[in-house]
Amino acid sequence: MILLIYLFAIITSANAINFEEFFLDKTMRFDYFHTGNANEEHFAFDEIVCDGIWAGSKTKLIDELRLGYYFFEIIDPESEEIIYSRGFASIYGEWETTRDAKENWGVYHESVRFPWPKKNVKLILYKRNLHNTFDIVWEYSINTEAYRVNPAEIKNFYNVFPVVENGDPEDMVDIVILGEGYTKDEMDKFHKDAEHYAEVLLSTEPFASRKDKFNIRAVETPSPNNGVNHPHQDIYKRSALSVSYGAFNSERYALAFDNKKIRNATSAVPYDFTVILMNDSIYGGGGIYRLYITAAADNAFYDYLFVHEFGHHFAGLADEYYTSATAYDMTSDIIEPWELNVTAHPDKETIKWKELLTPGTPVPTPWEKEKYDKYSIEIQKKRREMRKAKTPESIMEKFFIDKRKWDNELLGNMKYSGCVGAFEGAMYMSEGMYRSAPNCIMFTRYDKFCPACERAINLVIDQYTK
């Protein structure tokens, strides 16, 4: 029997909290170490620093979306009132599912950020359990006058420049762009790449319709070498932020594990979300909800990469594809995922995006799945062979371009193309998981978000703006 658990927004009076009563107009960054293995995890406090002015909303302090694998709350001990909360995901949360975590211990540096409390508070950290609800995994009492709390105002020593400015940080979604693999002599290129990123993002719906709600600023972080590390291609480099392809032994997955270095750079400007542009031509990147994205700036699919990875980071969107090497078949018991663009429950009355369904469209929705699966499985087989042979990137790009053309032709010319329904196949699962449309940026190298993704993105924009 399918287990249906969906966390609807919890509407409380908490967002009526008076910011000035509890907080100063600056950001507290709580740094800690997250360690463990596949069977257990532990947390240890590192330090607290000032991370600049508070860039978030001063009225929407409670996270009613409750997205993310982890969630934290800031509690006023006197009244026991929740005065701030946010969901997030982490590298550790991905790592603990890998083979490495079954065999070894790991330690990751992490941060949570919130307005600076005027008095002592308690931090409570939660993690999703197998029923998709949250359990407490750590509590920490924050003494704002403790010796490992540094309230000193940040002194910026990075070169920064505005890309898009529309208003005060507290009223806007604030994005910071960092450059990785750009030498000091390549800062002009970084500026152009940052401007292009902003142009691509803010011309894609639903960002395009709400582009006046965004500030985008860039921070120069020069590297000693051009490009980044590629262990699977035997290309080894050291760069400013230590970004590397090959995360978790996935050739094109690019992550950086030096959290403190990245946080110190991003704090040069007010920010809510972080983009790391890689000065690299090899297709790849990554995106983690409310941590950061990485994206290669010089390949045939950089526009798609920019927006796809930002979808993960900004709204916690799940991948909707399922024929990749990470795919697996569903068991009979399926828990409804927290991500807003996929569902295990294709029922017209309870589906997450029921208000978007196209009238007259059957749910589940028929599509050319058998034809798509047969072709895509063969493509994945050939792709693995090409990667093993270390095929030149120009040939790989042509291979991906041909695949995109085939996808768009099939998915755009079916009976229910253009309809909102429940199309089986999503989130690495061939059966039992559904997406809202035949095609999407989160499904193929398409150039548009599906309606469920657009809905999720708009909900997050609302959370950070007036």
* CATH value at residue 79: 2.60.40.3250
Residue 239 contacts residue 190 (beta carbons within 8 Å): no
pLDDT higher than 60, residue 13: no
- What are the pLDDT digits (tens) for 108-146? 999 999 999 999 999 999 999 988 999 999 999 999 999
- What are the pLDDT digits (tens) for 48-100? 999 999 999 999 999 999 999 999 999 999 999 999 999 999 999 999 999 99
**End position of a domain, from candidates 297, 315, 333:** 315
Does residue 307 sit within a domain? Answer: yes
According to the model, what pLDDT value does residue 208 have?
Answer: 98
Both 262 and 164 in one domain: the answer is yes
Both 391 and 438 in one domain: the answer is yes
Using the structure block, give the residue that is written with the tokens 């070169």. 159
- How many Å apart are CA 466 and CA 460, to the nearest integer? 12
- How many Å apart are CA 149 and CA 31, to the nearest integer? 10
- What are the pLDDT digits (tens) for 87-110? 999 999 999 999 999 999 999 999
Exposure of 405 by Cβ count < 10 A (0-12 exposed, 13-18 middle, 19+ buried)? exposed
- How many Å apart are CA 109 and CA 80, to the nearest integer? 28
Cβ contacts of 330 within 8 Å, gap of 6 or more: 429, 430, 431, 432, 433
Could you give the 3-state DSSP secondary structure of residue 274?
A: strand
Does residue 451 sit within a domain? Answer: yes
**End position of a domain, from candidates 131, 150, 169:** 150
Could you list the beta-strand ranges (E) of 37-172.
41-50, 70-76, 81-88, 106-117, 121-128, 134-142, 149-150, 160-164
Does residue 325 sit within a domain? Answer: no
- How many Å apart are CA 71 and CA 114, to the nearest integer? 13
Both 95 and 117 in one domain: the answer is yes
Provide the domain count of the chain.
3
Both 311 and 447 in one domain: the answer is no
Both 414 and 392 in one domain: the answer is yes
According to the model, what pLDDT value does residue 326 have?
Answer: 52
Selection from 133, 5, 3 nearest residue 68 by Cα: 133
Residue 91 contacts residue 307 (beta carbons within 8 Å): no
Residue 109 contacts residue 310 (beta carbons within 8 Å): no
Position 331, amino acid: T
Both 105 and 230 in one domain: the answer is no
According to the model, what pLDDT value does residue 331 have?
Answer: 45
- How many Å apart are CA 437 and CA 172, to the nearest integer? 30
Interval 309-317 mean pLDDT: 98
Does residue 345 sit within a domain? Answer: no
Does residue 329 sit within a domain? Answer: no
According to the model, what pLDDT value does residue 11 have?
Answer: 39
pLDDT band at 15 (very low <50, low <70, confident <90, very high): low
Both 99 and 185 in one domain: the answer is no
- How many Å apart are CA 434 and CA 420, to the nearest integer? 11
pLDDT higher than 60, residue 466: yes
Does residue 368 sit within a domain? Answer: yes
Exposure of 177 by Cβ count < 10 A (0-12 exposed, 13-18 middle, 19+ buried)? buried
Interval 256-285 mean pLDDT: 96
Interval 387-410 mean pLDDT: 90
The token duo for 82 is: 């929740």
**End position of a domain, from candidates 89, 119, 150:** 150
Both 310 and 203 in one domain: the answer is yes
Does residue 338 sit within a domain? Answer: no
- How many Å apart are CA 406 and CA 48, to the nearest integer? 51
pLDDT higher than 50, residue 12: no
pTM for this prediction: 0.93
Element holding 365 (H helix, E strand): none
Does residue 8 sit within a domain? Answer: no
Element holding 312 (H helix, E strand): helix 302-315
Q: How far is CA 305 from the centre of its chain?
A: 12
Residue-wise burial string across 372-398, b where 16 or more C-beta atoms lie within 10 A, e elsewhere: beebbeebeeebeeeeeeeeebeebbe
pLDDT higher than 70, residue 314: yes
What is the domain range of residue 446?
A: 354-464
- What are the pLDDT digits (tens) for 289-300? 999 999 999 989
Strand ordering across the sheet containing 292-296: 160-164, 214-219, 173-180, 273-278, 292-296, 285-288
CA dihedral 59, 61, 62, 65 (to 10 degrees): 80
Distances (CA, A) of 52 to 85, 154, 247, 270: 19, 6, 30, 7
Position 102, amino acid: K
Looking at the chain, the whole-number percentage of residues with pLDDT higher than 90 is: 86
* Omega within 30 of 0 (cis) for the link into 231: no
Interval 445-458 mean pLDDT: 98
pLDDT band at 228 (very low <50, low <70, confident <90, very high): very high
Position 336, amino acid: E
Both 93 and 211 in one domain: the answer is no
pLDDT higher than 60, residue 405: yes
- How many Å apart are CA 364 and CA 362, to the nearest integer? 6
Both 274 and 140 in one domain: the answer is no
In the predicted model, what is the mean pLDDT of the chain?
Answer: 93
- How many Å apart are CA 90 and CA 229, to the nearest integer? 21
Interval 175-183 mean pLDDT: 98
Both 179 and 308 in one domain: the answer is yes
Distances (CA, A) of 172 to 29, 180, 453: 20, 25, 20
Both 177 and 306 in one domain: the answer is yes
